[in-house]
Amino acid sequence: MDQKQSPQRPRNEVRRLPERGVYDREVIHAILDEALICHVGFITDRGPVVIPTIHARVGDILYLHGSPASRMLRTVPDAEVCITATLVDGIVAARSTFHHSMNYRSVVVFGVPRVVTDPDERSAAFEAITEHVLPGRWTEARQPNDREDKATKLLAVTIEDASAKVRTGPPGDEDEDMNLDIWAGVIPLGVVAGKPVSAPDLKPGVEMSEAALRRTAGGSGTSTTES
Amino acid sequence: MDQKQSPQRPRNEVRRLPERGVYDREVIHAILDEALICHVGFITDRGPVVIPTIHARVGDILYLHGSPASRMLRTVPDAEVCITATLVDGIVAARSTFHHSMNYRSVVVFGVPRVVTDPDERSAAFEAITEHVLPGRWTEARQPNDREDKATKLLAVTIEDASAKVRTGPPGDEDEDMNLDIWAGVIPLGVVAGKPVSAPDLKPGVEMSEAALRRTAGGSGTSTTES
């Protein structure tokens, strides 16, 4: 088996439209890194629950964090989870409504999370989570103190039982529809960051965050003084 | 109980940060309508699975559709599902890394889907799904024929056991951090549609879709002839 590919076990096998299934580890990592949030599925005594949350990847490990009191973080250690991250890249408008679709990239990761207690691993994961959402922010902001560290539960899932599913390109219409006078194509979609909005109680004279400027579309990276 | 609110049963109760939990039916509907996709969680014999898919709402009913062969659509009728739709509105950059967060709006719907077989309900749901993704497209495109209708499984979930969770506004930093020389604020995020890309095999002379133009940011709605 190619070392760069996830093992194709029955559960992570992409069942429908197998041509869209990709198992390349780099593809899986890239999708997880680009997605700002993921959706975590777990089983409660009343059925399945799916919760959106922030994640970050370090190597082959996916980290989730939150309050120790959160239902998700109380429920999932030592229980199976499914973590799904999805990027929506476009609306696929076919000649037929039937062949309308989305262009997207998604990753599904299965695993049993472990609670992370090692101080070094925790610190590296907290940095990764902050940097995932806003690259460059870890060194700009005040880093966690002991009280905040104690107030954060950290879970790790090894990215092993995982797969990606990708759709790209134009619509796939029926041959019989190709001569219809109906436009077909793709409307590209993307997430765009607007101009940073300073907190109303920002200390006068504090400079705009370089990380925020870089994150913003068309952000020049030039410092501006906010007051 | 206010008729406009979902019943607050134990499962849909927002446990953490209750100030972010909202149960207003109009808020729940608006989030479901704005979200292009949702994530459906269901239980398989090997654990929880979360799959992204397109949805549409008609009144108090949420529709999901797909191939009769899809694992999700084979698994979930008569079994509990959790359908979660999330809109990411901004990155919340606090002075402390601990208080970094996201502005978002999410909805969680619990239910047991039923398979929709009634022809009128099916047709209305297919229209709603097409219109959800691309308003105005249903009447532009070729609508489903009998073969396509048979090839589409349609599930309905009543939006009853549901809740929304919303975070808006600036970061909530600790009092002791307010005098730090660290920028704090929000970087707004939104989904933007680019210029429609015509299919390479588009019939010469077919006009650009009005629906696609309206969907595109800055789209004027003016027809242009593509070739």
Reported as a single tens digit per residue, the pLDDT across A16-58 is 544 556 668 899 999 999 999 999 999 998 899 999 999 999 9
A18-191 under CATH 3.90.870.10, yes or no:
no
**Percent share of chain B, pLDDT over 70:** 85
Q: Can you tell me the ipTM of this complex?
A: 0.88
CB–CB of A16 and B177 under 8 A? Answer: no
The yes-or-no verdict on residue B20 having pLDDT over 50 is yes
* pTM greater than 0.90 (yes/no): no
Q: How many A/B residue pairs have CB atoms within 8 Å?
A: 321
- Kindly report the number of other CB atoms within 10 A of residue A192's CB atom: 15
Q: What's the whole-number mean pLDDT along residues B136-164?
A: 96
Facing residue for A192 by CB, picked from B39, B190, B196: B190
Bridge partners for B39 per DSSP:
B52, B84
Show the CA angle centred on residue B123, arms to residues B118 and B125, nearest 5°.
Answer: 95
Q: What is the mean pLDDT of chain A?
A: 88
CA–CA dist A38, A53 (Å, integer): 6
CB–CB of A179 and B203 under 8 A? Answer: yes
DSSP secondary structure letters along A173-218: --GGGTTSS---EEEEEEEEE---EE-TTPPTTPBPPHHHHHHSTT
In this prediction, residue B185 carries a pLDDT of 98
Q: Looking at chain A, which residue has its C-alpha nearest residue B186?
A: A197
The yes-or-no verdict on residue A219 having pLDDT over 50 is no
CB–CB of B183 and A44 under 8 A? Answer: no
CB–CB of A184 and B199 under 8 A? Answer: yes
Chain B closest-CA separation from residue A105 CA (Å):
10
Q: What's the whole-number mean pLDDT along residues B49-76?
A: 91
A106-137 residue pLDDT tens: 999 999 999 999 999 999 999 999 999 999 99
The CATH class given to the B18-174+183-191 domain equals: mainly beta
The yes-or-no verdict on residue A218 having pLDDT over 50 is no
Facing residue for A48 by CB, picked from B37, B82, B91: B82
* Range(s) within chain B of domains with CATH label 2.30.110.10: 18-174+183-191
The yes-or-no verdict on residue A9 having pLDDT over 70 is no
Q: Looking at chain B, which residue has its C-alpha nearest residue A212?
A: B187
* Range(s) within chain A of domains with CATH label 2.30.110.10: 18-191
Facing residue for B39 by CB, picked from A39, A199, A202: A39
Q: Give the range among A107-121, A211-225, B69-83, B174-188 with minimum mean pLDDT.
A: A211-225
Considering only CB atoms, which chain B residues are within 8 Å of A41? 39, 41, 48-50, 82
